[in-house]
Structures are given as structure tokens and as C-alpha cells.
Chains A and B, each alone.
Chain A
Amino acid sequence: DAGVIQSPRHEVTEMGQEVTLRCKPISGHDYLFWYRQTMMRGLELLIYFNNNVPIDDSGMPEDRFSAKMPNASFSTLKIQPSEPRDSAVYFCASRPGPVGYNEQFFGPGTRLTVL
């Protein structure tokens, strides 16, 4: 298995532009998570899905952020419009089942820089 795949690996954009981050989870995993990592705030959970359904989006910082999971093999995180404070590394992770017995598998991350 190729693991969790994220694209792009690096994204540099200007303030006000739309940014779309993509994730392909491991096949057969029921859960998908989006995290954001910064030096100041550490690793923050933004949103997670179970069987393609969003379960908790309370970590999404504001309405500029949206996430979708149209099918079991693909998810997107969109920021529109982007701001410099959105600069961070965004990680997607997937998990095969309930948290009590399963680890989470992380993708390599997308490093976003908003100028």
C-alpha cells in the first residue's frame, strides 16, 4: 500500500487566493482526519470524517475553511480566501476503525505558505 497520499507537497500562494489541498486515504480505512501543524499551536485537529460523513468540524478555524469527502478514496480541504496566518503544514491521516484499537496513518503533509 502506498500509504496516505497528499498533494501538493508544497504550495505557495498570495493572500486572497483559493487553496485546495488533496488527500487519498489508505484503502479500506473508515476514518479520515485533517490536522494543521504550526510551531505556536502544535498539531490541531480541523475536521474528521467517518465513512465519508463529516463528524466534527469544530476545529475548522473559520468559514474560509471547508472540507469535503465525496467518496471513500478522496478528500479536499479548501481555504478561500487564504490569509498569511493560514501558513502551516496540513496533514491528512486515516484510520481503519475505532480509536480503541487502531493507530492513525499520516500523510507526508502539505506545506502551505501564504504571502
Chain B
Amino acid sequence: SQQGEEDPQALSIQEGENATMNCSYKTSINNLQWYRQNSGRGLVHLILIRSNEREKHSGRLRVTLDTSKKSSSLLITASRAADTASYFCATDAGNSGNTPLVFGKGTRLSVIA
């Protein structure tokens, strides 16, 4: 079953603009992860934020986590055409380390040069 749900489903922006994607989930978690998938390729890990963290940065990526609202956001600053991809949030079941990640359906980001 789907745990995370991304919003919006699709996003189109101009190069240089910021892109914000949101993720909501249903149950308690150990961590939340964001992945990117380029067309025809496998998923690539971007960033992991633990349940006791509120914000994390990695290069042009900024992730926030609000466990009280069961939501996360991924911000890509100064977007580039190469950022065009689908972005997925993924969560675990929360009670044990021995669980898989469950993925949402993703946000399709198009960055127009």
C-alpha cells in the first residue's frame, strides 16, 4: 500500500527558479528519504532525514520534515534543465529497522531552459 504521497503530481518551471515538492505520509517513521528517477533509469538516492531532524541540506537541495503533520518538502533551488526527472519520497514502517521503503507515486518535474 502507498505510504507517501507526493504533491503536485507534475511541476513545470523555468530554469533558475526554485522547485518545491511535498510529501505526506500516514504512519510513524524512522526516516524519510527522497529519490530521483531520470526517464528510463533506476531511482537514485538524494537525501535522508531522520524523524528527530527538522531540516537538512545537501547542495541545492533542502528537505524539511514535520512529524506532527506527517509531511515533508523537497526544495531544489536555482533549478537546471538537468534536474528534469521524477522525484519520490519514501518512508519506512517506523517500528523496526527491518522494514522496506514504501514509495509514493512521485512528482514529475520539468525544468525548461
Contact = CB atoms under 8 A, between A and B. Distances in A.
Contacts, number: 63
Interface of B: 2, 30-31, 33, 35, 41-45, 48, 50, 88, 90, 92, 97-106
Contacts of A33: 100-101
Interface of A: 4, 31, 33, 35, 42-43, 45, 48, 50, 55-56, 91, 93, 97-101, 103-109
A7 B21 CA distance: 33
Contact of A99 (B31, B42, B44): B31
Contacts of B31: 99-101
Q: Which of B2, B92, B103 has the most CB of A within 10 A?
A: B103
B100 A106 contact: no
Contacts of A31: 100
B71 to A, nearest CB: 19
